[in-house]
Amino acid sequence: MEAPTSKHTRNISRSSRPRSTTKGPLDQPDDPFSAEILNTSTSPTWGTAERGFSGASFSKLDPLAPDELPPTVEKDLSYLLRYDVYHSLSQIEIPPALRSEFIAPTSDESLSSSLTTLERLLAEGHFLLAAYLCGTILTSSLISPTDIKRIFSLFYTRLACLQLSGNTILAAQESKALEDLSSAFYYVEPIPDKLEKQPEYPRHIVPWPLRVQAVRLQSIGFGDSRRGIGGLYEIGLEARREILRPDLTPEERVIWRGRLSDLGMRIVNALIEMGDVNAARRSLNNLRTSEPENETDKLRKALLLLIIGDLDAAKEVCGGPSDAGNALFSPLLSMAEGNYDDAAQEWRALLDQDTPRPDAAMISQNLAVCLLYTGRLNEAREVLESLVQAHHSFSSLVFNLSTVYELCSDKSAKLKTDLTETVARQPVTGFTNLDRSNADFKL
């Protein structure tokens, strides 16, 4: 993509490699505000924004992004509104029973109406259709090249929906349109009259979730996994710098510390994908997550350790038998050690508790997997089919059930086709992708 040279002038103050210090850029800094964070009882509010676009607003993807640009600054994002940036999408790989018609704005439709339609598609789980509509809006006359909040939010939603619908390669190619997100073009100086007598810090205009997403996708698009790790370290340095700003509120500092912890997990995952298990283990052992460490962080860390194969370290993260959050870790560890009979009993014990669990469907599927590995195919089939009858149809469930059909019957093709029709008749919940491909059903 060709663009004015001024858009790609690299910030000279940025290092091209992680700086050589006794602390890594992803370590939580020992700053004088740490006690302030530890004494804050409010839970971090960054989780929803960091893990994906909620569909509630196309202008609040990042709570810390600049509300407005300085009056003398105007950013032209025309390079993200070109037709050649976006790939044509098709439903050829989707089973006929699950196909839905693509939706495009009419000639007299307003932007607000199109965004309402997009939010509905996201809420229903039509991610491929939502990706198509995002591309259509971005290449239409409905949106102004200077409406940076909506453009970035729509672009982020497009990339996220492509990934959720199994089109990660297309998302990786389209993410290249952003080019170098560390260039001076993407930074603005704050409005002076809103920071009286405070030191000025350049602000990045791209929402944080899109920046993190682009690092990974661009590394895939350019075929360079080391680029992705370097990019995570670079924005990690920025997050570390932001934490030390004296003018941050306690709530903002909590958000930045959470982001830093999230980046550490992402780097470990990137190292595992590269096959550098030793580096991943060292990074994970040295990682300091946000304080206090919640169950989600513990689960992420434990799962990464299980993938690496360090069971002893995973057990330490899980805590002792008296740990209230240890219920899921114990059967997972049994599965990692190959003790599928013990794991099946532990999964059943969780399901037999008096209090219904919100993750009962996931537990039931794990039970079915254990039954499959112990040769009890009919029992595994019954468990998985009961989940489908209860209107559960997440990807791993239908994939595992399709696998069981292949192992149990000579008529697996018909059984899998019938499964797609059953899933198509299920009520819309918004928790699963409705535009799933043939690969999910092993067709």
Asked if pLDDT for residue 227 goes beyond 90, the answer is: no
Reduced DSSP (H G I as helix, E B as strand, rest coil) percent helix, strand, coil of the chain, to 5: 55, 0, 40
Please tell me the distance from the alpha carbon of residue 421 to that of residue 83, in angstroms, as a whole number: 35
Q: Report helix, strand or coil for 188.
A: strand
With pLDDT > 70 as the criterion, what percentage of the chain qualifies? 79
pLDDT of residue 200: 63
Per-residue pLDDT reduced to its tens digit, 268-317: 888 888 888 888 888 877 776 555 566 677 777 888 888 888 888 888 77
Do 250 and 36 touch, CB atoms closer than 8 A? yes
Per-residue confidence (pLDDT) for residue 198, from 0 to 100: 53
Under DSSP, is residue 10 helix (H, G, I), strand (E, B) or coil?
Answer: strand
- Mean per-residue pLDDT, 335-342: 90
pLDDT tier for residue 322 given thresholds of 50, 70 and 90 = very low
Tell me the pTM: 0.80
Give pLDDT tens digits for 357-390. 888 899 999 999 999 999 999 999 999 999 999 9
More confident residue, 17 or 204: 204
**Residue 335, Cβ density class (10 Å: 0-12 exposed, 13-18 middle, ≥19 buried):** buried
d(CA 409, CA 385) in angstroms, rounded, equals: 15
- Residue 156 gets which letter from DSSP? H
Please, which pLDDT band fits residue 319 given cuts at 50, 70 and 90? low
Q: What's the pLDDT score for residue 431?
A: 78
Q: What is the pLDDT of residue 59?
A: 56
Q: Is the pLDDT of residue 192 over 70?
A: no
Where do the structural domains in the chain lie, given as residue ranges? 5-292
DSSP-assigned letters across all residues of 153-188:
HHHHHHHHHHHHTT-HHHHHHHHGGG--TTBGGGEE
Residue 41 has pLDDT above 50, yes or no: no
Q: What is the mean pLDDT of residues 74-99?
A: 92
Q: What is the pLDDT of residues 381-422, one digit of tens each?
A: 999 999 999 999 888 999 999 999 999 888 889 999 999 999
For position 156, what pLDDT does the model report?
95
Contact 232, 266 (CB under 8 A): yes
Cβ pair 216, 228 in contact under 8 A: yes
pLDDT tens per residue across span 118-132: 999 998 889 999 999
- Residue 27 has which token pair? 């370590």
CA dist 343 and 331 (Å) reads 5
